[in-house]
Structure 1
Amino acid sequence: MINKSKICYILTSLLAVLAAVGIIYSFKFISIGIQGHQIDKFVKHAGYYQLNQIESQSEDGSFTAILSWVKGKKEKELNSSPVVKDLRVTFKVDANDECQFKITDLSNSRFHLPENEPYPFTKQRFSKKQQEFNLFETEISQVGQKFYFELRRKSTKEIIFSTKNFPIYFTDKYIEVTTQMKDSMIFGLGDRRTDFLLKSGKYSLWTRDAADIDNGTPGKEIYGFHPMYLRRDIVNNQFQVTLFRNYYGMQVDYEQNSHLTYKVIGGNIDFKFFISDSNPENSIKLYHNYINGWILHPFWSSGFHQCRWGYKNSDMLMDVWNNYNKYEIPFDSLWTDIDYMYKYQDFTIDFERFNITQMQQIYNLSDPNGVHWSSIVDVGIALDSDAAEKGLEMNVFIQSAKTNQSLIGKVWPGKTYFPDFNHPNSTEFWYDGLKNLSSYGISQDGIWIDMNEFSNFVPGELVPSESLVEKIKSFFAIDQPALPFNPLGIYFSNQNSIFKIQLNNQINMFQLIYEGLQRIDHKTLSLDSKHYSGYDQGILYNSSNGYIPTQYDFHNLNGFGEGIATYKAAQKLGKKLTFILSRSTAVGSGRYVQHWNGDGYSTWEYMKLSIPSIMNFNMYGIPFNGDDICGLMGDATAEVCARWQQLGSLYPFSRNHNNNDAPSQEPYVFKDHPYVLSSTIKTLNVRYQLLKFYYHLFVKANGLGTIFRPLFWSFSNDDNAYTYETQFMVGDYLMAAPVVQPGNAIKQSTHSCVYIPKGESFYNFYDYTEYKEGEHCYEVPFDSVLPLYIKSGKIVHIQDKQKVLRSRFLDNTFTLMIVLDENNYSSGSMLTIDDYNRDENIISNCIQNYNCVIDLFAQGKLNENNLFQVELRIQQEKQNTTYQIILIDKLIVIGAKANGKSYQKTINLNTNPWIIDRNDLQFNFSFQI
């Protein structure tokens, strides 16, 4: 509970002290509007919205209506955020499984994002748009009554969204809307590091540079902005997705099996609903279609990556490269963090420390040992750099409302400007910078855009002429615009918390620190800073009424805008399939970038929570995602690093990344614990065996749906499956049960378990042992591979005939692992292309025409004389498939059922491999039981 009198007492005392020592000579203390408090007085006595009239109704169930505010008898006006008195409600049926509920001011003049590219928008899909075919039904209050809206699933009457018995507040800078949440579990509402099943709590949504774990306390969100959730109706086991299409900062108060409340600092009430069935993947695909899908990454980026902030010169890069080659550790890319830059300035290389000849040797892909160069580009542009000079000429930087000049912040190179990615010149400016990096004889194959929340080492901005009094006034006036609510929360963390003053008279800097008070512009830009406001040339937004968009409007879109600019620049630089690793993302970012989970610590908890984070980003539409293997910060122990390497071997994006201040954690540095190196090599060999299988899942999905999934995704009827959050599925084929807790250091082993869902059976990937439903426990040595299982009834194609250290050396020859179910049947799919390394080959055959996928069907039966016969059929998924030559030179049949027993058989076809080069092929083979 916030003690307001305590705050006032402390602040009054503080100002009195400052006045007493002569720092402040006069200060008229009337009231201090601390973020998060003004709204409390308003809602205590606030009135309500009444349904005034129905404007229109359509046969498909769509309608519009007018609401009017009925003022409460003791209502206290919010001076900084007056109530919007009249509103328009719109309910629109977009398809029989997709609809939109929206509340705006009557003229729809408030800042909102358009419903077209690059933002999510409704696609025209075949749908019988009559009310009788809708999967949903609605109910609203009667004219003259207090307004409410309810959306239900027609078949089960489950409530999907309902404001009945909950208030709606719509003021200029504070909106509140609540929905019922009975008999449900939800997943999402990110970006945050927490369990996959969302627990009761208060969750902020505001992009931040932070490495927090979120326990339901406000202000613990991290880099991205994804106000969507997947909801499961527990009673009927049905799924749907709700997106709150509002990009302003917000806090979501969630009480399990009760309600969910949005508290937002601007915009409109705008919800999109995607309603499917008992398969969560179907709802997610509807959502991904709306947010414009996700892009395919180049094949090489599926390989393993090594990175560190702390490779301070090219000699250190050479040492890492040589050691990886010496120990035969598979990897495809060696990254450079900010170390490689000249004075940390973007688009530069410090040639005194980084010898270009050495770098050209490492990144020479014509050399069998050569790897891809991936490097970081921060968003802050150093004031004394060539890029800053060009940016000022092009007028592309965000403008300060205080100075009417380019806003100045502070990041790694010191004082910096920040590009305004809404400015029409910003894309060309960004392209020119990235092109400069390609002029040194090496090329960025992977582009890493970081600090793009935007992260700033000072709150708001640096204003050299601002007096100390103005700094104090600015702090307690909150930010401009003054906000009645702080979505980052305000609270007393303990009884002894105090305010502290930090003064530096030489530079006239002032900073107020309080443990329970976090400014909303903490480590980012001033909210009143200005963006481009042209009428028709804005990259992200065009002002139709002269409105000048600010960071207040754009903050959660910063990373989104930079992602688009980087994507366009990469394409202009000739990259066909782009690999752009972005820390900050928003709804729809997957159309342009990939992602990793950001900064974390080298602990068991952070390793464990990487799994739900990757699952979340698969839901958010950025499935090529991973975590810093072994952790970025802190001292990674040998055991943590070994287990993390095992887990990370099946991350979609797999990279070991370390911090400048932490000890080295490359797999070969743990000399006293050789199991780290041996385990890493073994588990990465498995990754490379599966690399083309893994990649084919991305190609087959065609930009919609998930790849790295929770266990319940495939077994939604099994309530137990929801409790095993560290097990995960790769597609619908493989299940992993990583070890994410410490073991016995003496025995160098960990007691671990795997859960097999009800009615299912899985087979160990390595020794083909069958596991039926229930929990199975075993010892997993530290020197081990990731516990991995194949689902019964699936065909998985692998490449296990040679040890490959680079993805580009994988050939077109495969082993089929045919895992038969109880009926001796299995199915799978694979690609028909023979060269995954040429982007043009993938694009022309797999993306543009989507015609490079074949389906495999195997049926086995026991014939006379105990001869088990298998028929394998090949069938194209679409017409006119392009067939390049694929070879099958080994078969591993697992789970052949005969005489009440299960059998395995390996058949080598080396001398006469099967050739897949056309449609409707059939292969037959048999073996003796």
Structure 2
Amino acid sequence: MISKSKICLILTSLLAVLAAVGIIYSFKFISIGTQGHQIDKFIKHAGYYQLKQIESQSEDGSFTATLNWVKGKREKELRSSPVVKDLRVTFKVDANDECQFKITDLNDSRFHLPENEPYPFTKQRYANKQKEFNLFETEISQVGQKFFFELRRKSTQEIIFSTKDFPLYFTDKYIEVTTQMKDSMIFGLGDRRTDFILKSGKYSLWTRDAADVDNGTPGKEIYGFHPMYLKRDIANNQFQVTLFRNYYGMQVDYEQNSHLTYKVIGGNIDFKFFIGDSNPETSIKLYHNYINGWILHPFWSSGFHQCRWGYKNSDMLMDVWNNYNKYGIPFDSLWTDIDYMYKYQDFTIDFERFNITQMQQIYNLQFCKQTNKIIIFFFNAFIVRSDPKGVHWSSIVDVGIALDSDAAEKGLDMNVFIQSAKTNQSLVGKVWPGQTYYPDFNHPNSTEFWYDGLKNLSSYGISQDGIWIDMNEFSNFVAGEIVPSQSLIEKIKYFLAIDQPTLPFNPLGLERIDHKTLSLDSKHYSGPQGILFNSSNGHVPTQYDFHNLNGFGEGIATYKAAQKLGKKLTFILSRSTAVGSGKYVQHWNGDGYSNWEYMKLSIPSIMNFNMYGIPFNGDDICGLMHDATAEVCARWQQLGSLYPFSRNHNNNDASSQEPYVFKDHPYVLSSTIKTLNVRYQLLKFYYHLFVKGNGLGTIFRPLFWSYPSDDKAYVYETQFMIGDYLMAAPVVKPGNVIKQSTNSCVYIPKGGLFYNFYDFTEFKEGEHCYEVPFDSTLPLYIKSGKIVHIQDKQKVLRSRFLDNTFTLMIALDENNFASGSMLTIDDYNSDENIISNCVDNQNCVVDLFAQGKLSENNMFQINLKIEQETEKTTFQTILIDKLVVIGIKTNDKTYYKTIDLSENPLIINRNNLQFDVQFQL
């Protein structure tokens, strides 16, 4: 193969000759043209669709109609993407608060994904749908007129979606549809690092291996594909969710308070609408129900995690493990990145660098003395960690399969790799191990292939507790593929980016669409047994169709493999996700830099993924790339202590950033220990929010979620809520390095009342500013009227050693009332116990109600009621050995009182319990 340096020498001479004859200009023209802006010439004089016929109408408001194309007088034919001249429009009422608007060709023959699992599909929620009960109404143009569709909220006449006064184009490889967007703000619209309230800009939706910050320039989206948005009607303070159910690459042009335009390179026009109310959670839960909800993670994964690309051998792992134990830093999992693999090959361990005995000591699995073999039952509940210091092993699995590996040989035998259209053999790309194949997760053999690979890791005497699937966009270090027989001319064309895919429109702007991924013409399995798509109609799916589903498919295969390996509650961390991935995987925000901007933007990213239905989500604490400063790392550890998924992760080329390495800045270690101790105090409370959600709704929320009518609450994007209970105001800006402190502020929304989580100081509505030392915990507040259960009697290094005894923090409101909930199980470490009592149709939640009353002689009484959440609630014994009553008001003063019940704890083991506790103020 000719090196790029040699190609450069050839090009220097070649380009000089080309320039002399004027051909260099043509090369530039070809390069720009193939970026895909030919559509502009077509649109300039294009015609329009008129409503041809109303085919059917139903009593619930549903209808079907046909459209036909009226050609513009000066319209120029778009040869690369001809107009689809006859279309069918379908509007379907799915429930009184849910509906679908769809435009297809007359035979509905274009490639689209089915409306059944594993994809989102409509659930039957109402037996009878009556038009008068719909929250929405529709309007369309008259027969013979230019077609438009409008969907309005019936109660306020708010326009939810309207194509009126905007063009509509439906060609083979380019679709454009626009909706009005007046007096509104939107949130979401893809996996990107940007502010939570979306600003005007051009936003790409195309899964990419990148670490960009998105400023509204095309080509800045990162790993996932989530074409949904939450919309707030500002005037009426109403919320709704819109999903564009199209998985092709697209660009969305958004102009605040004006319009939003989808520009898509295939498929159909297919919108799902979820009509909520003044609580944003309402429409989000409707959306989550449609996308099949999200799965519950095992309890141990709620603990803290340490990871690095750069733990090059088991001695380094031992050093990290020993230091965490030495300094008393709580953590539950020590990760290995690609370093642990033999030549970076999947499903292997390099035993020359990673001593299996050392790894077994770190991960502390019980040995069987009779056979001197490790006992691996593959059931989390039965894996025994013999040393209290033992942690869980989580490790990476990349998607690229090295050509010279055992896995590649097996994959070729099973015919599971994506096929090249150029060679008619398995497509060859390049990732960490060198040249690689890529599994086709549509192939019926792919799940078994993936299971066999993961099972092979277990045969070495150590089993993954957490599975980390990375590079699954699919990432490729070359554009498209490696073609062994490529000619010199083809190599030159590739070098000049002349041979990129020719499209009428490129949703990535100036970046070639196959940059760092696979050739778009590469082929997937096309038979009736396809896992992701049944090709019984003869369509051969390509990467053009499937690109945004790559990570989704791998997630499903990994989930099925993990279940087959016996894991009851799965923890699968996937970088690339799509609509519906939360049913199978968890997520982190991917690669980022060790700076204030990336730290700050981690917050809206996690909020977005809560909306997208993957609430167990986090960011690389202290940042992945570049050297983290002590101040950044300390503040990030504080913030990350309340990420749903909390992991410090570092890059191979950056300096170490474990909390104990900052010897000249001891506040990093001190702050980390203090703030992680808070996390572990709250760990069972945090986990109970996931269990209580039962696969629907958000956990890590924006401030306005609890105060949607306060316009100012939308401005404070870095404050966040944990459920509707706790509010955090992390420090995300540099402070005074001399004073080692930062002046920071918290905003209490209108009508809000909060108490400092640590000293119970009262905070009323308005902005409050204060100094936050570098050596500090995360500024945290408990909302009045809420009961939070914590475990503050002990400091533990592992989640499995948290006991069955709780403290109730009762933050009274102005009526001396507070409520909350907690789980009724006594063993969070047994997946089987959680599943049999808490998951799906099982219930293990009790509701707590506390009513305070001030009597004579400054005696205060708390009446605590325990009520099961449903008739199916099961009870195991849990204990309450302390009450902290906050917000007691008398004589114009506010008090708190701690009541020690350790000698006579409250026992919760059945329904309808009441406890009366009195104390002197």
Question: Do they fold alike, i.e. is TM over 0.5?
Answer: yes
Preserved CA contact (<8 Å) 1:35 1:478 = no
Instruction: After TM superposition, list the pairs within 5 Å mapping 1:103-252 onto structure 2.
Output: 103-126=103-126, 128-252=128-252
Q: Is 1:34–1:476's contact at 8 Å kept on the other side of the alignment?
A: no
Amino acid in the other structure paired with 1:404: N
In structure 2, how many angstroms separate the alpha carbons of the residues matched to 1:16 and 1:807?
Answer: 64
Return the offset for 1:482. 2.8
Equivalence for 1:425: 445
Letter in 1 for 2:457: L
SS of corresponding position for 2:636? helix
Code of the aligned partner of 2:16: V
Asked whether the equivalents of residues 15 and 24 of structure 2 are also in contact (C-alpha less than 8 Å), the reply is no
CA-CA distance at 1:471 after TM superposition: 4.3
SS at match of 1:660: coil
C-alpha displacement of 1:543 = 1.3
Q: Unaligned stretches of 5+ in structure 1? A: 1-11, 491-517
Q: Does 1:813 align with 2:813?
A: no
SS in 1 for 2:43: helix
Which residue is equivalent to 2:387?
Answer: 367
Q: Which residue of 2 aligns with 1:578?
A: 570
Q: 1:54 to 1:778 in 2, by over 3 A?
A: same
- Partner residue, 2:507: 487
Q: Which amino acid aligns with 2:709?
A: N
Q: What is the aligned partner in structure 2 of residue 835 from structure 1? A: 827
* Deviation digits for residues 15-47 of structure 1 (CA, Å, limit 9, x no counterpart): 75365899x999999966322321010000000
Question: What residue in structure 2 maps to residue 377 of structure 1?
Answer: 397
| Structure 2 counterpart of 1:723 | 715
User: Which residue is equivalent to 1:465?
Assistant: 485
Amino acid at match of 1:915: I
Q: Is the 8 A contact 1:754 1:777 kept in 2?
A: yes
Q: Secondary structure at the match of 2:459?
A: helix
RMSD: 1.8
| One-letter identity of the residue aligned with 1:327 | Y
The Cα offsets for residues 731-766 of structure 1, whole Å up to 9 and x where unpaired, read as 000000000000000000000000000011000000
Given residue 158 of structure 1, which amino acid in structure 2 is its aligned partner? E
Q: Distance in 1 between matches of 2:349 and 2:238?
A: 54
Deviations 1:36-95 (A, max 9, x none): 321010000000000000000000000000000000111111111000000000000000
Q: Say whether the 8 Å CA contact 2:493–2:499 is kept in structure 1.
A: no
Query: Structure 1, residues 546-573: CA drift from partner, whole Å, max 9, x if none?
Result: 1110000000000000000000000000
**How far, CA to CA, are the matches of 1:14 and 1:228 in structure 2?**
50
Which residue of the partner structure matches residue 860 of structure 1?
852
Distance 2:273 2:128 in 1: 17
Q: 1:768 deviation in Å? A: 0.2
What CA distance in whole angstroms lies between the structure 1 residues aligned with 2:587 and 2:13?
Answer: 44
Match of 2:841 in 1: 849
Aligned partner of 1:637 in structure 2 is 629
Alignment-derived partner of residue 399 in structure 1: 419
Q: What residue in structure 1 maps to residue 377 of structure 2?
A: none
Distance 1:27 1:46 in 2: 27
Instruction: Determine if contact 1:95/1:127 at 8 Å carries over to the other structure.
Output: no
Measure, in 1, the Cα distance between the counterparts of 2:14 and 2:545. 32
Aligned to 2:73: 73
Question: 1:447 pairs with 446, 467, 471, which one?
Answer: 467
Provide the rounded CA distance (Å) in 2 between the counterparts of 1:307 and 1:192. Answer: 23
For residue 223 of structure 1, what is the amino acid of its counterpart?
Y
Query: Amino acid of the residue matched to residue 519 of structure 1?
Result: R
Match of 1:648 among 619, 640, 650: 640
Question: Given that residues 34 and 500 in structure 2 are in contact (C-alpha distance below 8 angstroms), is that contact kept between their aligned partners in structure 1?
Answer: no
* Correspondence for 1:782: 774
User: Separation in 1 of the partners of 2:885 and 2:27?
Assistant: 83
Tell whether the 8 Å contact from 1:96 to 1:127 is kept in structure 2 after alignment. Answer: no
Residue 875 (structure 1) aligns with: 867
Q: Distance in 2 between matches of 1:803 and 1:13?
A: 67
Match of 1:83 in 2: 83
Q: Is the 8 A contact 1:891 1:906 kept in 2?
A: yes
C-alpha distance in structure 2 between counterparts of 1:84 and 1:480, whole Å:
25
Task: Report the alpha carbon displacement of residue 542 of structure 1 after superposing the two structures with TM.
Answer: 1.0
Letter aligned with residue 816 of structure 2: N
Secondary structure of 1:440's partner?
Answer: coil
The 2-side partners of 1:172 and 1:531 are apart by 21
* Alignment correspondent of 2:886: 894
Q: Does 1:547 align with 2:539?
A: yes
| Counterpart-to-counterpart distance in 1, 2:27 and 2:647 | 55
Residues 289 and 696 of structure 2 are in contact (CA less than 8 Å); yes or no, is this contact kept in structure 1?
A: yes
2:519 matches 1:526: yes
Residue equivalent to 1:339: 339
Shift of 1:545: 2.2
Cα displacement string for residues 254-301 of structure 1 (whole angstroms, at most 9, x for unaligned residues)? 000000000000000000000010000000000000000000000000
Q: 1-side partners of 2:430 and 2:359: how far apart?
A: 30
* SS in structure 1 of the partner of residue 227 of structure 2: strand
The whole-number CA distance in structure 1 between the counterparts of 2:148 and 2:187 is 25
Q: Decide whether the 8 Å contact of 1:227 with 1:245 is kept in 2.
A: yes
Residues 113 and 541 of structure 1 are in contact (CA less than 8 Å); yes or no, is this contact kept in structure 2? yes
5 Å-filtered alignment, 1:575-654, equals 575-654=567-646
* Mapped pair 1:928 → 2:920: yes
CA contact (8 A) 2:694 2:840 kept: no
Is residue 2:457 matched to residue 1:437? yes
Contact 1:479/1:526 (CA < 8 Å) preserved in 2? no
Given candidates 743, 758, 761, the residue that maps to 1:751 is 743
For the 8 Å contact 2:34–2:502, the answer to whether it is kept is no
Report the Cα offset of residue 616 of structure 1.
0.2
CA distance in 2, matches of 1:849, 1:212: 41
What is residue 379 of structure 2 aligned with on the other side? none
Matches within 5 A, 1:186-335: 186-335=186-335
* In 2: Cα distance, 1:121 partner to 1:544 partner: 20
Give me the whole-angstrom Cα distance separating, in 1, the residues matched to 2:775 and 2:895: 29
Cα 1:696–1:876 shift into 2, 3 Å: same
Question: Structure 1 residues 15, 850: closer, same or farther in 2, change over 3 A?
Answer: farther
Assess if the C-alpha contact under 8 Å between 1:579 and 1:593 holds in 2. yes
Residue type of the partner of 2:219? G
Amino acid at match of 2:601: L
CA contact (8 A) 1:852 1:883 kept: yes
Counterpart of 1:912 in structure 2 is 904
Q: Distance in 2 between matches of 1:83 and 1:312?
A: 56
- State the alpha-carbon separation in 2 of the partners of residues 617 and 754 from structure 1: 24
After TM superposition, give the deviation of residue 849 of structure 1 in Å. 3.2
Higher mean alpha-carbon deviation, 375-384 vs 119-128, is at 119-128
Aligned amino acid, residue 267 of structure 1 = G
**Is the 8 Å Cα contact of residues 768 and 894 (structure 1) preserved in structure 2?**
yes
Matched residues, number:
889
The whole-number CA distance in structure 2 between the counterparts of 1:479 and 1:302 is 47
Q: Which moved more, 1:878-887 or 1:578-587?
A: 878-887
CA distance in 2, matches of 1:528, 1:765: 56
Partners of 2:29 and 2:298 lie apart in 1 by 60
User: Is there any run of 5+ residues in structure 2 with no aligned partner, and where?
Assistant: 1-10, 365-384
Structure 2 counterpart of 1:411:
431
1:591-639 CA deviation, whole Å, 9 max, x = no partner?
Answer: 0000000000000000000000000000000000000000000010000
Q: 1:220 to 1:477 in 2, by over 3 A?
A: closer
Per the TM alignment, residue 130 of structure 1 is displaced from its structure 2 partner at its CA by: 1.1
SS of equivalent residue, structure 2 residue 853: strand
Query: Structure 2 CA distance, aligned partners of 1:31 and 1:521?
Result: 17
Contact 1:478 1:519 in 2 (8 A): no
Q: Residues 851 and 877 of structure 1 are in contact (CA less than 8 Å); yes or no, is this contact kept in structure 2?
A: yes
Separation in 2, partners of 1:15, 1:199: 45
Measure, in 1, the Cα distance between the counterparts of 2:551 and 2:297: 19
Deviations along 1:415-460, one digit per CA (max 9) or x if unpaired, are 0000000000000000000000011111100000000000000000
Distance 2:95 2:189 in 1: 24
